[in-house]
Amino acid sequence: MAISRRWATPEHRYRLWARGRGSDQPDFELGQVQCVQVSAGALWVANMVAQRGVRRSRGAAPIRYDALRACLSRVAAFAAGEGASVHMPRIGCGLAGGRWGDVERVVEEEVVGRGVAVYVYDLAAVGKGRGGRRRRGKSPESGEKGGEALLHPQPCG
């Protein structure tokens, strides 16, 4: 939701996509990704469908790791094609109910393993200052080609 405070378009496009509007979009189903450009430069947001619902069902967390893997594979292909890095919070660990260790392993295999740098940010609590960050992969400072990406709505990969 921090992204929605800065750019309204990704959430708006996500909601349209979820309602089946947008013939140029992939079906709204687990494992799919929608990329939305948020600036004239190379800054994108990737809307991913990697969980079923927002509440536990019969003890199972909403996150679907196979869908997350498919989403991140698409994001990695998109980022590699753009010469971009991926910047993200610890996805899948809030309402989705996932464990960061499991999510991190998928991020490393699907994104970092394909040569795309990933920056993971811990969001600070309101009034607590700036969040920290952890880096995976090569950084732009080390000579990586490309710009920033959080990842025209379009399918990613």
Q: Where are the domains of the chain?
A: 2-155
Q: Find, among 18, 118, 39, the residue nearest to 76 by Cα.
A: 118
Asked whether residue 99 carries a pLDDT value surpassing 70, the answer given is yes
- Of 17-26, 72-81, 86-95, the range with the lowest mean pLDDT is 17-26
Asked whether residue 129 carries a pLDDT value surpassing 60, the answer given is no
Q: Mean pLDDT, to the nearest integer, of 9-15?
A: 93
pLDDT band at 106 (very low <50, low <70, confident <90, very high): very high
CATH node for 2-155: 3.40.220.10
What pLDDT score does 155 carry? 45
**What percent of the chain shows pLDDT beyond 70?**
76
